Structure 1
Amino acid sequence: MKTTLIATLQSGDYVGFTFFIGSMAMLAATVFFFLEMRNVEGKWRTSLLVSGLITFIAAVHYFYMRDFWIENGTSPTEFRYIDWILTVPLMCVEFYLILKAFGAKTGLLWKMIAYSTWMLVTGYLGETVFRDSSALWGAISSVGYFAIVYEVWLGSAKQLSKNSNDPVLQKAFNTLAWFILVGWAIYPIGYMAIETDGILSGVLAIESMDIIYNIGDAINKIGFGLVIYSLAVSKTTATASA
């Protein structure tokens, strides 16, 4: 008879605890975003749909990562990158969607997706295939991260938000930009900390980085969606009052 394995959380397993919390938080956020789609006007429903897809994809992977951790006691690197390679480009899509009404072209969309894909693919290669030269691959991966930071702080995306003359949009855009600058910074920092030849090697234990990744993922992905939700509600209310 086949035995069904159920993930069991041991006392003092703080990494496992954050995996459980992360999976349920992402699932709850998904339900919220999907249900709230009916309460915003048409063009903002797509943005909330993308937000819901981001947290849904993350929730599914966190259930897998949670079980992997419980069973093996090691960091689920492959599952993390599968999650990120799907959700991070979608988070870049959010910038395009909120700026589309103010002249954003599809070129900006594909540029942001290309930067994020570069960042993640090269980061994965450094953590798995080319571990002996992981620091070099980490530097290559960081090029994609800093390119995204440039776009949202100084590049064409920033210029579109400044030219919109819409304080609600500008506030939402600036909040998302801070998520990328500060929230996303935990990933390159974590990369440098967990690799044997990383600049921050030995500063933090791998288990500590899993906790930081789990909390950071929840804050970044759910927080991203909540900013979009707040913007969608504000614009829908303004349209209804006009």
Structure 2
Amino acid sequence: MEGEVNLLVLATQYMFWVGFVGMAAGTLYFLVERNSLAPEYRSTATVAALVTFVAAIHYYFMKDAVGTSGLLSEIDGFPTEIRYIDWLVTTPLLLVKFPLLLGLKGKASRTLLASLIIADIIMIIAGYIGESSINIAGGFTQLGLWSYVIGCIAWLYIIYLLFTNVTKAAMDKPAPIRKALLQMRLFILIGWAIYPIGYAVTLFASGVEIQLVRELIYNFADLINKVGFGLVAFFAVKTMSAVKKSQLS
């Protein structure tokens, strides 16, 4: 019935709040703990805080897209633009952490970073074009399908770079940094795989409730890939800072 509370709507509303609170808490943690790191490692905490801060702002506004009462009839559409603006800012910042932890300088750093970010931007733009066409049509579109394919190719190229160039460069790094880099690759391989699943949900099905499922998938993935990713990098440099402190004492 039109006036009946929908449990899927409620779950999505609460998940947007969980996303906002999780991102805000992550930002506070990274900023508070930043000064506990050795000076050369503080940029890692700064970037992690930037990622979660930007995401927290966007989640605060996106939560209103699914209303406040739990009614399916209140939903007028989804903030696809806000979602993709968030990703356009935060996903390159996530990838910046690889050169940061590797300590790459000069041309090597610029080349790796440029390759990762260009592929990432292609992935995000393709995803936005595709999802916008799906939202307008209310279901499957050829543009949506081809955008999905292009986005997946760009994502696979990022994975290729991480499992070749980054893995090779990580082998001569201290154990905590090497371990973190190898774990962070898995966030991009496994954690980012959740997003194509969410995209495919609305590519091959239609309806407001299917879109709600997509948003739940995206919210879950964002929490893992932004807060979790940042924590892995942070604890690596935290360990390195402790080692450096013990050597100096």
**Per the shorter chain, which TM-score range?**
0.7 to 0.9
Cα distance in 2 between the residues matched to 1:70 and 1:174: 40
Number of residues paired by the alignment?
Answer: 226
Aligned residues of 1:22 and 1:59 also touching (Cα < 8 A): yes
**In structure 2, what is the equivalent of residue 5 of structure 1?**
none
Normalising by structure 2, we get a TM-score of 0.85
Aligned residues of 1:102 and 1:160 also touching (Cα < 8 A): no
C-alpha displacement of 1:52? 0.1
Kindly indicate whether residue 58 of structure 2 is the aligned counterpart of residue 48 of structure 1.
no
Kindly indicate whether residue 123 of structure 2 is the aligned counterpart of residue 119 of structure 1.
yes
Task: Please give the residue correspondences for 1:93-108 in structure 2 after superposition, counting only pairs within 5 Å.
Answer: 93-101=96-104, 104-108=108-112
Long gaps (5+) in structure 1:
1-9
**In structure 2, what is the equivalent of residue 181 of structure 1?**
189
C-alpha displacement of 1:106? 1.3
**In structure 2, what is the equivalent of residue 157 of structure 1?**
166
Secondary structure of 2:160's counterpart equals helix
C-alpha displacement of 1:16? 0.4
Aligned residues of 1:149 and 1:181 also touching (Cα < 8 A): yes
Aligned residues of 1:119 and 1:145 also touching (Cα < 8 A): yes
Kindly indicate whether residue 85 of structure 2 is the aligned counterpart of residue 75 of structure 1.
no
Aligned residues of 2:30 and 2:48 also touching (Cα < 8 A): yes
Kindly indicate whether residue 153 of structure 2 is the aligned counterpart of residue 143 of structure 1.
yes
Cα distance in 1 between the residues matched to 2:48 and 2:128: 24
**Aligned-pair identity (%):** 32
Normalising by structure 1, we get a TM-score of 0.87
**Residue of structure 2 aligned with 1:228, choices 214, 229, 233:** 233
1:82-124 per-residue CA deviation (whole Å, 9 max, x = no partner) reads 1000000000101110012588521101111111101001111
**Residue of structure 1 aligned with 2:180, choices 140, 162, 172:** 172
Secondary structure of 2:154's counterpart equals helix
Aligned residues of 1:69 and 1:76 also touching (Cα < 8 A): no
C-alpha displacement of 1:129? 4.7
Long gaps (5+) in structure 2:
69-73, 135-140
* CA RMSD, Structure 1 to Structure 2 (Å): 1.9
**In structure 2, what is the equivalent of residue 66 of structure 1?**
63
For structure 1, which segment, 139-148 or 71-80, has the greater mean C-alpha deviation from structure 2 after superposition?
Answer: 71-80
1:176 maps to amino acid: M
For structure 1, which segment, 38-47 or 70-79, has the greater mean C-alpha deviation from structure 2 after superposition?
Answer: 70-79
Cα distance in 2 between the residues matched to 1:21 and 1:129: 28
Runs of 4+ in 1 over 6 A off after TM superposition: none
1:43-63 per-residue CA deviation (whole Å, 9 max, x = no partner) reads 111110000000000000000
**In structure 2, what is the equivalent of residue 207 of structure 1?**
212
2:211 maps to amino acid: I
